[in-house]
Amino acid sequence: MFTDIQICLAEVVAGSAAWLGRGLSCVCAQRRESDARPSFDLTPAQEECLQRLQSRIEVSYDSSISEHQEALRALWNASFPEEELRDLISEQWKEMGWQGKDPSTDFRGGGFISLENLLFFARNYPKSFQDLLRKQEGDRALWEYPFAVAGVNITFMLIQMLDLEAVKPRSMAGAIFLKFLSENESAFDLLYCITFKLMDNQWLAMHASYMDFNTVMKSTRCQLERELLLEDVSRLEDLPSYSLLTR
Ligand SMILES: *[C@@H]1O[C@H](CO)[C@@H](O)[C@H](O)[C@H]1NC(C)=O
Ligand SMILES: *[C@@H]1O[C@H](CO)[C@@H](O)[C@H](O)[C@H]1NC(C)=O
């Protein structure tokens, strides 16, 4: 039996000062149950924050709810302020990296929170959001990852990585995250922005193509877990990858 506890083994390439991207790659290993750390007990405040986040995670995208439609429209406006969305179901969505003309079919994995994450990103870090949406930085691959679909995968990966559907954290990274969440309710959304930017950074450093997307996601996850465990990180803004974000 293996637990979900993942440990990251940092592998520093000798002589390289660049610790992001190629300079450092992470190898994820799983520990046996017997080696697992003891349970991570939550304070009542942390428990409440976790429950609030869990109730956000449980919400599926529902196109019959006007708040959900509004959020989708708001995402379009934040993404392409210069172009009007003709209809909620429109070929235009493909410009943003949705698979078809109805983004709601792509939310299945992540639910409404994946839309909220994208909106938070667009509103709070518009420069980074636009750079990623329009593939502005670095030598881009011939076969790029679709922006919006990748965003939904990031939401999903974070929920898995932090084990947010469990009653209490089962990994050190999860326990540390809950501490940040109890200090700032936006912690999940902020971590999402950091992760998206980090993923793109690794994508470029690995000269990846769409076939490598899962490998890039794995390496992103490892890097994040490693950063969360760094000693002098006492809030998300202290994560080394936070510095990749621009407002
Ligand atoms: C996202 O993950 C799902 C499975 O979880 C996969 O089918 C899909 O291809 C992934 N999307 C991207 C952008 O790779
Ligand atoms: C919480 O984090 C968000 C995102 O970084 C930030 O805008 C906000 O000011 C923070 N709130 C507090 C109370 O620190």
Label residue 64 exposed, middle or buried (CB < 10 Å: 0-12, 13-18, 19+): exposed
For residue 132, the SS3 value is: helix
**Cα–ligand 1 centroid distance for 106 (angstroms):** 10
What are residue 8's DSSP bridge partners? 28
| Mutational pocket test of ligand 1: of 132, 153, 155, the residue with most ligand atoms within 8 Å of the beta carbon | 153
Whether residue 173 contacts residue 162, with contact meaning beta carbons closer than 8 Å, is answered with yes
Contacts of 134 (CB under 8 A, 6+ apart): none
pTM: 0.86
User: Where along the chain do its domains lie?
Assistant: 3-19+42-246
pLDDT at 125: 98
**Which residues does the chain have with pLDDT short of 50?**
1-26, 29-32, 34-35
Task: State residue 107's pLDDT score.
Answer: 86
Token pair of 15, please? 């002589």
The length of the chain is 247
User: Using an 8 Å Cβ cutoff, are 118 and 151 in contact?
Assistant: yes
Q: Is 54 in the pocket of ligand 2 (CB under 6 A)?
A: no
Rounded to the nearest 10 degrees, the angle between the axes of helix 187-205 and helix 126-133 is: 40
Instruction: Look at ligand 2, atom 6, and give the residue with the nearest C-alpha.
Output: 186
Q: Which residue from 147, 149, 159 has its CB within 8 A of the most atoms of ligand 1, so it is best to mutate?
A: 149
As for ligand 1, residues whose beta carbon falls within 6 Å of it are: 109, 145-146, 149-150, 153, 213
> pLDDT value at position 195?
98
SS3 101: coil
Query: Does 184 contact ligand 2 (Cβ within 6 A)?
Result: yes
